[in-house]
Each structure stands twice: as C-alpha cells, then as structure tokens.
Amino acid sequence: MNPFRLGLLRAAIELRQVLRSRKDFYSYLSTPLIFLAVAYWRAGGDKGQTTQLVPAGGVGSTIFMFGLMTVPQFLFGDREDGTLLRLRGVPGAMTAYLTGKTLFVLATMIASIAVLLLGGTALLGVGLPSSPTQWLTLCWVLLLGIAAVVPIGAAIGALLPAREALALYLMPVMGLIFVSGTFSPLRNLPTWLQDVASAFPLRWIAQGVRSALLPDAAKSYEPNGSWQHLATLGALTAWVLLGFLLAPRLLRRMAARESGSRLSEREQKRLTKAAY
Amino acid sequence: MTTTVRESAAADGGVHDLAVRTTGLRMRYGQRDVLDGLDLEIRRGELFGLLGPNGAGKSTTIEILEGYRRRSAGEVEVLGQDPERDDPSWRARIGIVLQSSRDHGRWRVGELLDHFAGYYAEPFDPAELLRTVGLSAQADQQTAKLSGGQRRRLDVAMGIIGRPELLFLDEPTTGFDPEARRDFHELIRGLRDVGGMTIVLTTHDMTEAQQLSDRIGILQAGRLTAVGTLDELAAAARARSEVRWTDHDGSPRRQLTADPSHAVWELHQQYGGPIPGLEVRRPTLEDTYLGMVSADLAESTANATATATATAIRTETP
C-alpha cells in the first residue's frame, strides 16, 4: 500500500486510541478548557480589552505547546520504546510514520483551537473573527504558525538525548508562553524581554491571532500600536524555513543512529532504574 | 571479453546460493576493532546460528547485515545487495526480530499486524499468522498488556508478516519458559522447512543453537573462529565423547575419547559381551564451544606471555 495512505491509517488509529481512552481524551481537552476558564475568571462581569486577550493568547499557546512540547515528546517516546527502529526495518514505514504524526498533530491542534474559539464565543462573546478579512488573517496565521513550530519541534525531539534533557528543555518553553504577550499586553513587559520574546515564533503567532479575533481598535495595546502583519509574516516564514531545513536532516541522523543494541542498552538502564 | 562475462555469470550462479556474504568485514570504534576482517557465508534456506561470548561482535555483525549500522571496511552482500543502500524493495525481503521491544504499546494486537501487512506486496494473512503464533485470543488486547512470551511471539509475527526471504532473530527466547521455548522452536523450524526462509539466529543458549541450527558459526574477538555443522565443529575442536560404564566391582568408570565407537568395541572384547551400565555421550555444542573458547583464551594468554618474555629479553640485550 502507498505509504501516505498508511500514514493516514496510522493517524486514524492513533486518534481512535485517544477517543477510546477517557484519560487521554480529557487531557487533550484540558488545555483549551483551562484557557477558557482563565478567560472567564478574568472577565468577571465586564468585558474589557484584557479579557479578550485570553482566548486569542490561548490559540497561540495551543499551537506553540503542541508544536514545541507535544511533538518532541512524541518523537522522544517513539525513539525510546523502539517504535522508530521497528519502522526503520519496514519498507516505506518512516514516510508513513511522519505523515501519520503530522496528521495526528494537525487534527488534535485544530480540534483544540475549535473548542477554544467556539467556547470563547459562547461564554464571553469573543472568539470568532468578525469579517472575511479577519477570517483570512486567522487562516494564514494558523497555517504559518503551525508550519513554524511543528518541524522545529520534530528537530528538537530528534536531538534530545535523554529523558532528563526533555524535562530541562520544557521549562524555558513554558517560560516563553508567559513573556510572549499571550495573557497580558506585550508592551507592559520591559523592552529587553519584548526583544527576547520577538526572537521566538509564539509572540508573532499570538499577535497575528489577536489581529484576527479582536476589534481593530485593540491594536493600540500592541507594542508599536499596529498589528505588524508584515513583520509577523517575515518572522514566521523564517522559522518555517529553519524548521524545514533542520528537521529532515536531524530526523535522518537520528534514525541512522538507532540500532538494536542501543535500544537494549536503554531498556537495560530503564529496568535498572525501575528496580530501585 | 566474452569469456570474462561468461565466467562472471558462472561465478554469480554460485554467489546466488548465498543469502549473506561478507569478506574482510571490519568495524572500528575509536581505537578498537570490534570486527577484525570477518568472512562469513550463509547459504540460502539454512538456519544459521551465530554464537560467541559477550563483546565478540555478534550484535555489531547482525546490525551491519540488517543495514542498521555502517561498517568501517570490507564487503557485505545481503540477498545480493549492499545493506547500506537500504532501498525499500530490499527491505521488503528482510525480516527483523529485535532483542527487546515494547513499541506500539497502545495498539491492539490484531490491528497492529493488519497495519504492518499493508507495507508489503505479498504478506501472510494476518489472522492466520496470529493463529500460527498462538495469539488469536489476544487479537483485541493492547500490546502493552501481553506477557513477555506473548510479546516475543508478536515480534516474530511482525518480523515475518511480509514473507521475508531472510529473517534475523536476535536472542529470541530470552526469558521464555521451557514450554514457550519449545513452541517457539517449532515455529522457527516450520518457517525454514515450509517457507524456505533463511534464518540467522544469535543466542546465548547452546541447547537452543544445537537444536535449531543447520550450521553454526563461532565469533571470537571479531573473527569467525569456527564454522560448520555440530559434528564438524566437534571434530575441529577435537571434542571428545564420554563413555561411561560400571566396572565388575560396581564402581562407575569413565573414559574420554575421540572415537567412542572404537572404545565401545574394545570394552565389548574386554567384557566378552554386554557392558553393564554402558552410556555414550556425544560432545554437546556447549562442550565444543567451551572447549574452543577456553582453548583460544589459553592460547592467546600463552602467546601474550611469550611475546612479553621475548620483548623483555630483547630489551635486556644491548
């Protein structure tokens, strides 16, 4: 069978696994629900501009978290348990795996974003774009944002040497979520922190999403009083290019380095640790 | 010119009876040669057992043959192709069963085998194969919930689902109980006898190697030190059979001999008839193997001592 069709099949099977397991289902659902809860709580009675920030920040954070936290964890887990090694010995299976994982991540991401946007509309009256132009903006920002973080996430997953490194890596990524203007206006932060955040994709994804969801007047809260679409396009495109340049090389290198004896070694270590 | 072509075609005919051929295979990690010019030939349709002490290079050899590891030097042909090329049509003819696996833990057994059948042009029927390995009852179970032996059998099923011409089995029965081991051996023999599969097996278990293998290769310090059938190996190692009997006074007697038949004939003459408590034990693979490995160790130690002494003498003489 065609490896891309097998990839589609893998995505369908893995999505079904999530739907079958209550624990998984709720853990995927929890991310958008937490963002909605925060938004609702901050809204209190009045629906100020800061309240409106939260669902938009939630969309940006969801993309960022899936791409840079979930994807590396998937890849890391599949390397640790021998899934990738198994697939390497099967014709066409690596292509199917990458196709399947991409589709799986896209589906779960889009589902989370949909919950967030529809929930925001229902609870707070903010959430969906209000004009065709804004819809268009939402589409390109989401597409570009996803393409900017998923390959980078895969590259990082291929580089992470051990479980400890994964934990260590996740901390600064979490930190970035709080300094990227997702939950409070970026201009309230010191300039140097704004500059740091601007080097990473989340700040741009979040700003782009705000420009698609909030009324035009809200742009006065942005660092220089405009939506900066051109800068967003530029920054995200640069990340997309970097990701597509790095990810295939690093994935190939990772696959080439895997072998049965490496796997057994790790397994041995895991069992020794578990014994203590 | 024409002659050359014909000659090479004729030579090819011979080569194609081989599933695996390595010449001068070398693998170097840093300063250490893990494989030191390995020459190995595995014939089509045979079950070849690769034995050797830990660190002798078994896993490295298998991984090079599987196309999982790049060699440092030497020639390797697996099913007529260099495994480093690793193209899909070649992959489809190879089956691999790794030592330890817990991959696809959340997939259901039947679903997983069905899915893997999809990668091959002429796979076995997954449901039938599941029956063959005795996992039909577990088809709807998650693979993570299988017992160790059941998981191994699933691994074998996944290794052969694509009807490979050549199957690599790395330490397949580690952690099996005797009954599971016996069933497993029957399954493996069936693959060779009915399916005509070439099987390369590495194991620590001498009894297993002896029961399953058509030919056995012994790998020591990165070289193949012996290769052949069990009898050939025993002969090469000058492993001796043991003849036991009971003497007139009831005491047990024991004799080690390279020619047990002759020894028994002599005993018959001596006793002028039946020999009480006669027992002839042929050398097992374990005897042969231990004989070879320890003899080699003794020899290399002796060599090292001799060299050291020679060096010492040379340094002393001005």
Whether B103 and A261 lie within 8 Å, measured CB to CB: no
pLDDT of residue A122: 86
User: Is A263 within 8 Å of B89 when comparing Cβ atoms?
Assistant: no
List CB contacts of A134: < 8 A, sequence separation 6 or more: A211, A212, A213
- Is pLDDT of B240 > 60? yes
The partner residue sitting opposite B88, judged by closest CB among A78, A86, A92, is A92
On chain A, the residues whose CB falls within 8 A of the CB of B115 are 6, 9-10, 13
pLDDT, position A46? 56
User: Nearest CA to CA, how far is A264 from chain B (Å)?
Assistant: 6
Query: Helices B148-160 and B109-117 meet at what angle, rounded to 10?
Result: 20
Q: Check A260 against B62: CB less than 8 A apart.
A: yes
Interface contact flag, A259 B111, Cβ < 8 Å: no
Name B252's bridge partners. B246
Chain A nearest CA to B243, separation (Å): 42
Strands B279-281 and B18-29 come out as unpaired
Q: How far apart are CA A27 and CA A170, in angstroms?
A: 18
How many percent of chain B have pLDDT more than 90?
A: 39
pLDDT of residue B103 exceeding 70, the answer is: yes
Using the Cβ of A263 and the Cβ atoms of chain B, whether some distance falls under 8 Å is answered with yes
Separation between Cα atoms, residue B233 and residue B210, nearest integer Å: 11
Q: Higher model confidence: residue A109 or residue B285?
A: A109
Over residues B174-204, the pLDDT tens digits come to 767 788 788 888 888 888 888 789 999 998 7
Nearest to A95 by CA among A242, A271, A266, A252: A252
Least confident of A165-169, A176-180, B234-238, B271-275: B234-238
Q: Which residue has the higher pLDDT, A79 or B258?
A: A79
Q: Residue B110: pLDDT band by 50, 70, 90 thresholds?
A: very high
Rounded mean pLDDT, B108-118: 97
pTM of the model: 0.82
ipTM confidence score:
0.83
Q: Token pair for residue B112?
A: 């997983």
- Judge whether A10 is closer than 8 Å to chain B, CB to CB: yes
Residue B236 pLDDT exceeds 50:
yes
Q: What is the pLDDT of residue B312?
A: 38
Query: What pLDDT was estimated at residue B81?
Result: 94
Phi-psi region of B37 (alpha: psi -120 to 50; beta: other; left: phi over 0): left
- The verdict on A78 touching B (C-beta cutoff 8 Å) is yes
pLDDT at A178: 84
Buried b (16+ CB within 10 A) or exposed e, A252-270: eebbeebbbbbbbebbeee
Stronger pLDDT, B161 or A126, i.e. the higher one: B161
Say yes or no for a CB contact (<8 Å) between A260 and B98: yes
Residue A92 to residue B119, Cβ atoms within 8 A: yes
Q: Which two tokens stand for residue B233?
A: 């190996």
Please compute the mean of the pLDDT values over residues B58-77 and round it to a whole number. 92
Question: Out of A6, A96, A259, whose CB is closest to B68?
Answer: A259
Q: What is the pLDDT of residue A49?
A: 58
For residues B107 and B134, which has the higher predicted lDDT (pLDDT)? Answer: B107
pLDDT band at B89 (very low <50, low <70, confident <90, very high): very high
- The amino acid that residue A183 corresponds to is F
Residue of B197 and B286 predicted with greater confidence: B197
Average pLDDT score over residue span B129-147: 92
Q: What is the pLDDT of residues A14-62, one digit of tens each?
A: 999 999 989 989 989 998 898 888 877 776 655 555 667 788 888 999 9
Whether residues B88 and A85 touch (CB distance < 8 A) is answered with no
A261, A263, A266, A272: best to mutate for the B interface, most B CBs within 10 A: A261
For B:65-94, CB contacts with A below 8 A are 66, 68-70, 88-89, 91-92, 94
Q: Kindly state whether B114 is in contact with chain A, defined as any CB-CB distance less than 8 angstroms.
A: no
Residue with tokens 């063959």: B132
Measured between CB atoms, does B60 come within 8 Å of chain A?
yes
pLDDT of residue A276: 62
Q: State the pLDDT at residue A62.
A: 92
Judge: B107–A13 Cβ closer than 8 Å, yes or no: yes
> In this structure, are strands B166-170 and B94-97 parallel, antiparallel, or unpaired?
parallel
Q: What's the token pair of residue B198?
A: 């070439």
* DSSP three-state, residue A129: coil
Task: Pick the range with the lowest mean pLDDT from A86-100, A129-143, B125-139, B294-308.
Answer: B294-308
Contacts of A25 by beta carbon, 8 Å cutoff, 6+ apart: A18, A19
Cβ–Cβ gap B103/A258 under 8 Å: no
B26 pLDDT more than 90: yes
CA-derived radius of gyration, chain B: 24
The DSSP-derived string for chain B is: -HHHHHHHHHHHHHHTTEEEEEEEEEEEETTEEEEEEEEEEEETT-EEEEE--TTSSHHHHHHHHTTSS--SEEEEEETTB-GGG--HHHHTTEEEE-S----STTSBHHHHHHHHHTTSSSPPPHHHHHHHTT-GGGTTSBGGGS-HHHHHHHHHHHHHTT--SEEEEESTTTT--HHHHHHHHHHHHHHHHTT--EEEEE-S-HHHHHHH-SEEEEEETTEEEEEE-HHHHHHHTTPPEEEEEE-TTS-EEEEEES-HHHHHHHHHHHHTSPPTT-EEEPPPHHHHHHHHHHHHHHHHHHHHHHHHHHHHHHHH--
pLDDT under 70 in chain A at which residues? 43-51, 274-276
| Residue B318: per-residue pLDDT | 36
Q: What are phi and psi of B24, to 5 degrees?
A: 60, 35
3-class DSSP assignment, residue A21:
coil
pLDDT reported for residue B315:
38
Q: Which residues of A touch B170 (CB under 8 A)?
A: 260
If 0-12 CB within 10 Å is exposed, 13-18 middle and 19+ buried, where does residue B31 land? exposed
pLDDT given for residue A48 in this prediction: 59
Give φ, ψ of B197 to 5 degrees. Answer: -75, 145
Structure tokens at A270: 């895991």
* B95 pLDDT above the threshold of 80: yes
Are A39 and A121 in contact, with CB atoms under 8 Å apart?
no
Report how far residue A180's alpha carbon sits from residue A63's, in angstroms, rounded to the nearest whole number: 13
CA pair distance A8, B233, nearest whole angstrom: 52
Interface residue B55 vs chain A (CB under 8 A): no
